[in-house]
Amino acid sequence: MKLFHKKYIVIILVLIQLSCQKSENNSKEAIFNSDRAYSILEEFLKIGPRVPGTDTHLKAKDFLFNFLKKQTDFCKTQEGKGYNPFAQDSVKLANIIASFNENQSNRVLLCAHWDSRPVADNDPDTNYRNLPILGANDAGGAVAILLHIAELINRAEFDFGIDIILFDGEDLGQHFSNTHWLQGSKLFVKENPDYKPQWGILLDLCTEKDLKIKKEMYSYYYARWLVDKIWNIAYELGLDIFSNEIGSPVYDDHINFLYIKIPVIDIIDIQYKQWHTHLDDINQISKENMGKVGGLVLECLKRYNSGNW
């Protein structure tokens, strides 16, 4: 054992404190830009519907991977087989995983699904129900928020690990069955049994103009401490789009984490009127609400980083 002189111990402690302060101050400088997030969404939607097994799905995958690869060297795809019950055929799925501070064991998960639905089963015009939807709010807006947050994380300093995961195959299910929904997140959990983030946020249906986000029931029941913490931050920020009401239970990607006791909550407005219709396009999106939701997620990361969590 080697003994250090007291003055060297003092110097080391000061350097550690300065390093922590730098990280906290650097992360505080990150500001969510709703104009930037909206422009990312516009570019993303130009690709077209993102139905697994189609050319536009592959183009969308390349767009997302290349975007995130510019933000971190630790970006990869998790490939797997899925099933489209509407086409009655197997399809290739790809989860896209971008990790920051990859060596940190203390990790946080941010996620959304990037595929879009192969049918418009709720469309008011029955002639168009068998055609794929664009999915601007389901969940293109959520993806755009996370892509912009990836840019901000890349330029800031956080003392913990952050994983942004875009799940594929979420919207391949049929309403009368739970069998084929959430295929990408099921694949991820199955093949990554040692992945244990401290907490996580799933974004879905959270960027429309008429937005009111209730406390999703599964999230509230299985991870109430996290719901309450995030809603309290939303109230502190004056975000009127967050309601204290308990909403309906939603079978969404967070379920596969809650099953294994990982607290991941769903920020979602399940009352979205254009859900699974061809009206779910860019005209439904609110740049202001993208800023509110994205700003809240970023604020959660900042507070967790500063210890004021």
HSE of 236 in the Cβ direction (CA atoms, 13 Å)?
Answer: 11
Residue 234 sits at the vertex; the CA angle it makes with 231 and 238, to the nearest 5 degrees, is 140
Whether 117 shows a pLDDT value over 80: the answer reads: yes
Residue 5 lies in a domain: no
User: What pLDDT band is residue 4 in, cutting at 50, 70 and 90?
Assistant: very low
Burial state string for 67-93 with b = 16 or more CB within 10 A and e = fewer than 16: bbeebbebbeebebebbbebeeeebeb
pLDDT of residue 28: 67
Give the pLDDT confidence of 62-77 residue by residue, as tens digits: 999 999 999 999 999 9
pLDDT of 29 reads: 82
Ranking 16-20, 137-141, 192-196 by mean pLDDT, the lowest is: 16-20
Residue with tokens 């050319």: 55
Average pLDDT over residues 244-264: 98
Place of tokens 């969510």: 32
Q: Taking the model in full, what pTM does it have? A: 0.92
Residue 276 predicted with pLDDT over 60: yes
Asked whether residue 15 is domain-assigned, the answer is no
Within a domain: residue 210?
A: yes
- Give me the pLDDT at residue 36, please: 98
Percentage of the chain lying above the pLDDT 90 cut? 89
Domain range holding 117?
31-306
Q: Is 287 exposed, middle or buried (0-12, 13-18, 19+ CB in 10 A)?
A: middle
pLDDT, mean of residues 14-35? 65
Residue 69 belongs to a domain: yes
pLDDT at 18 over 50: no
Supply the pLDDT for residue 59. Answer: 98
Domain annotation covers residue 14 = no
On the CB side of 203, CA atoms within 13 Å amount to 31
pLDDT for res 298: 98
Nearest to 252 by CA among 166, 190, 182: 182
**Which residue shows structure tokens 């000061």?**
14
Give domain status of residue 11, yes or no. Answer: no
| Strand-pair partners of 204 | none
Q: What are phi and psi of 293, to 5 degrees?
A: -70, -45
Q: Is 228 strand, coil or helix?
A: helix
Q: At what angle do helices 34-45 and 55-69 cross, to 10 degrees?
A: 150
User: Domains in the chain: how many in total?
Assistant: 1
- pLDDT surpasses 50 at 11: no
Helix (H) or strand (E) holding 44: helix 34-45
Return the pLDDT at 12.
41
- Say if residue 23's pLDDT is above 50: no
- Residue 283 belongs to some domain of the structure: yes
Q: What CA–CA distance (Å, rounded) separates 245 from 31? A: 29
User: What does the DSSP assignment read for 79-114?
Assistant: EEEEEETTTTEEEEEEEEEEEESTT-SSEEEEEEE-
152 pLDDT more than 60: yes
Residue 78 resides in a domain = yes
User: What's the rounded Cα separation, in Å, for the pair 154 and 27?
Assistant: 10
pLDDT of residue 1 exceeding 90, the answer is no
- Report pLDDT digits (tens) over 161-192: 999 999 999 999 998 898 999 999 999 999 99
Output the domain CATH number for residue 259.
3.40.630.10
Q: What percent of the chain has pLDDT over 70?
A: 91
**Average confidence (pLDDT) over 233-238:** 98
